[in-house]
Amino acid sequence: MKRTFISLAILLLAACGTESDLPTASGKASIRAINAVSTSGEISFLIEERLIGAAPYKNITGTSRYDDLTYNFNFDVFYAGEPRLRRVASQFVDVIADRDYTFLITGSLSNPTLTLWEDDVREFDSAETVFAAKFVNTSSLPGALDFYFADPATPPAPGEQVATLLPGEISSGVDFPPGTYAITITTAGDHTDIVYASDSVPFVALNSFFITLFDGDANDTAPIVVQALPTNGIGVPMRDPSYLPAIEFINVSMDLGASDIYDDEMLTSLIVQDHDFRDVAIELPIASGANNFYYTPTGDTAAFILDGPLAAINGVRYRFYATGVAGDFGTDVVVPDRKSLETMAKATMYHYSNNFQFLDLYILEPGESVDDNFAARPRIERGSQTVNTALPAGSYDLYITEFNSKDVLAGPYSVDLVLGDIVDMVVVDTVDPAVLDVLFLSGGPAP
């Protein structure tokens, strides 16, 4: 396999000639890109100015086939407040027919590094009963790592590793029969020093995969994660069950009162104590799979007054709300987006007011009025989390109104934001049914 490191300088080429001097294609090559920039959102990958695909962090673009000519490949990113995508990296490549090109973008968007891996195209015929895999290390873990890829019942053994990789390296391709596989990663030369051991994942024949180690981000409970990235199809997480799910309990029910929370129906396993209205409990690890949480009045285990389920996945961080009014309590589960991006500040809101079915969120520059502006997020339904609103760095005033109304129910809340900040807020009731309040989980006004 040929491996090429790429300078980020944009080369300016000019050529003169007659129409007969233009190059003629003799075949096609396969091209794709992997996004390993942990502080990025989605990165667009282009051949000249034509979009090949886009990939968020820990993902891969689809594979495209192009003629064997010379192209400028470009990487573009959305920055909040800018009228068009910003180009962060470019590289000319003289594409050769029947070759397979994979770009890896790492580092930061302000100082990215491109690596280009080149190999022969792996083609399958209908009679084959294998899949192909290459192993990739994009993590920041120091030193070399051994990668073991086998039936989950097969422990790592000296000499059985499929690759030994430093950060930024890729292995040669290996064919495997279809079946269920687990990835185990150890420090190089010590099969007993396991740094990652995944659950088993089924693999089918006639596809190629990049089994890729990434750094975890703020949405993961694990410091490193592995994704099986196919050349065609959707990536599959290969989760390590030693990194459990986590849960954050929030009480947004005024009527529920102070409660104890148990994770068993017999009310013997107390996990949160004296959880009152507006309280945000410390995040806790929980078991993967089926969970149920039971609320009792604080100090009283005669019977539970509320319970709610959660089907938890290893490595995922959850938010669990106690909601409702007397006689109609409930629970709600949200998977929040906690990942900070270097391209924007973000604002998101969870609405749980019992007094208003729909709300509007306004995000205005200081001194502006809701009367003269449109809502940033209109018609937010009770019990829903908004998608993120991308914001440039700056100062803002936040207001809450009822849907289709200019009467302010909460705010203004003044916030000063830099790129990477996250305004994460929960709208709750107050004792006055015509007034709301905001519980800021991050990015709130200065005290």
User: Going by C-beta distance under 8 Å and a sequence separation of 6 or more, which residues neighbour residue 282?
Assistant: 248
Residues in the chain: 447
CB atoms < 10 A from the CB of 335, how many? 12
Which one, of 48, 22, 23, 52, lies nearest residue 35 by Cα?
A: 52
Say whether both 325 and 359 belong to one domain: no
User: Going by C-beta distance under 8 Å and a sequence separation of 6 or more, which residues neighbour residue 273?
Assistant: 260, 261, 298
Asked whether residue 125 is assigned to any structural domain, the reply reads no
The residue among 334, 368, 391 that closes a domain is 334
pLDDT value at residue 152? 86
Which one, of 306, 327, 403, lies nearest residue 362 by Cα?
A: 403
Asked whether residue 340 is assigned to any structural domain, the reply reads no
* Domain region containing 136: 131-238
Asked whether residue 256 is assigned to any structural domain, the reply reads yes
* Whole-prediction pTM: 0.90
pLDDT value at residue 21? 59
pLDDT value at residue 446? 79
pLDDT value at residue 13? 39
Asked whether residue 93 is assigned to any structural domain, the reply reads yes
Asked whether residue 126 is assigned to any structural domain, the reply reads no
Say whether both 260 and 350 belong to one domain: no
Q: What is the CATH number of the domain that holds 394?
A: 2.60.40.1120
Q: pLDDT tens string for the chain (447 positions)?
A: 444 444 433 333 344 444 445 578 889 999 999 999 999 999 999 999 999 999 999 999 999 999 989 999 999 999 999 999 999 999 999 999 999 999 999 999 999 999 999 999 998 988 889 999 999 999 999 999 999 999 988 999 999 999 999 999 999 999 999 999 999 999 999 999 999 999 999 999 999 999 999 999 999 999 999 999 999 888 999 999 999 999 999 999 999 999 999 999 999 999 999 999 999 999 999 999 999 999 999 999 999 999 999 999 999 999 999 999 998 999 999 999 999 999 999 999 999 999 999 999 999 999 999 999 999 999 999 999 999 999 999 999 999 999 999 999 999 999 999 999 999 999 999 999 999 999 999 999 977
DSSP 193-211: -EEEEPPPEEE-SS-EEEE
DSSP 131-194: EEEEEEE-S--SS-EEEEEE-TT----TT--SEEE-TTEEPPPEEE-SEEEEEEEEETT-TT-E
Say whether both 229 and 251 belong to one domain: no
Say whether both 231 and 314 belong to one domain: no
Collapse the DSSP code of 41 into the 3-class scheme (helix H, G, I; strand E, B; otherwise coil) and give the result: coil
Say whether both 280 and 380 belong to one domain: no
> Tokens in use for 134?
């290459």
Q: What is the CATH number of the domain that holds 154?
A: 2.60.40
Say whether both 114 and 148 belong to one domain: no
Exposure string over 134-145, b if 16+ CB within 10 A, otherwise e: bbbbbbebeeeb
Say whether both 18 and 109 belong to one domain: yes
Say whether both 99 and 7 belong to one domain: yes
CA 136, distance to chain mean position in Å, is 19
pLDDT value at residue 208? 95
The residue among 303, 334, 365 that closes a domain is 334
Asked whether residue 144 is assigned to any structural domain, the reply reads yes
Say whether both 114 and 6 belong to one domain: yes
Say whether both 425 and 358 belong to one domain: yes
Say whether both 307 and 383 belong to one domain: no
Asked whether residue 57 is assigned to any structural domain, the reply reads yes
Check if the beta carbon of residue 90 is closer than 8 Å to that of residue 44. Answer: no
Asked whether residue 61 is assigned to any structural domain, the reply reads yes
DSSP 58-88: TEEPPPEEEESSEEEEEEEE--TT-SSPEEE
The residue among 238, 265, 291 that closes a domain is 238
Say whether both 227 and 285 belong to one domain: no
Number of domains in the chain: 4
